[in-house]
Amino acid sequence: MKLIKRQARKTITLGAALSLLSLCALGIPQAAATEPHLEKAIQRGQALFAHETFGGNGMTCQSCHVDGGVPPGKLPNGTAIPSLANAAVIFPRFNPRANKVITLDDQVRNCIARALQGQPPAYGSEQLMQLVSYLASLAQGKPLDINGRPQ
């Protein structure tokens, strides 16, 4: 009897660990995944990040920001670029090239216009909200560090 109970507890713990693992595999931190609308927005953002070309040159975000943007990325010519793991907590920041302070929305639209040579989704659009939700999910739990350095 005692043995069965212990066995059952083990199975439950294993189940919980597995579901946590599968969430991690999706790159979605658990806290963010508890609100269904937000979870859906994050998942759609992740899909856009991996597959959407925005009518441009055929690249997606993931062409440069590899593996969902979690590790450091690289340009097609091999030049290393920062990870996006903390991007959501280091904006707004001063962009020397633009000579102004830009938000995360601005940065995402810049990458779509310049890197993807695509049509950036409008401010306030679902697609921009979904991409930003995905990037925010990568930075979940990290302290706000505006104008900080990319990881």
CB atoms within 10 A of CB 14: 10
Q: What Cα–Cα distance (Å) separates residue 86 from each residue in 72, 82, 125, 143, 150?
A: 11, 10, 23, 9, 6
Q: How far is the CB of 150 from ligand HEC (least distance, A)?
A: 3
Q: How many residues bind ligand HEC (CB under 6 A)?
A: 22
- If the CB atoms of residues 49 and 133 are measured against ligand HEC, the closer one turns out to be 49
133 scored as a contact of ligand HEC (CB under 6 A): no
Site for ligand HEC in 66-125 (CB under 6 A): 75, 81-82, 84, 87, 90, 104, 107-108, 111-112, 115-116
Rounded to 10 degrees, the C-alpha dihedral 28/81/78/62 comes to: 30
Distance CA 67, CA 12 (A): 31
| Chain-centroid distance, C-alpha 141 | 13
- If the CB atoms of residues 5 and 76 are measured against ligand HEC, the closer one turns out to be 76
Return residues touching ligand HEC (CB under 6 A).
49, 59, 61, 63-65, 75, 81-82, 84, 87, 90, 104, 107-108, 111-112, 115-116, 131, 135, 150
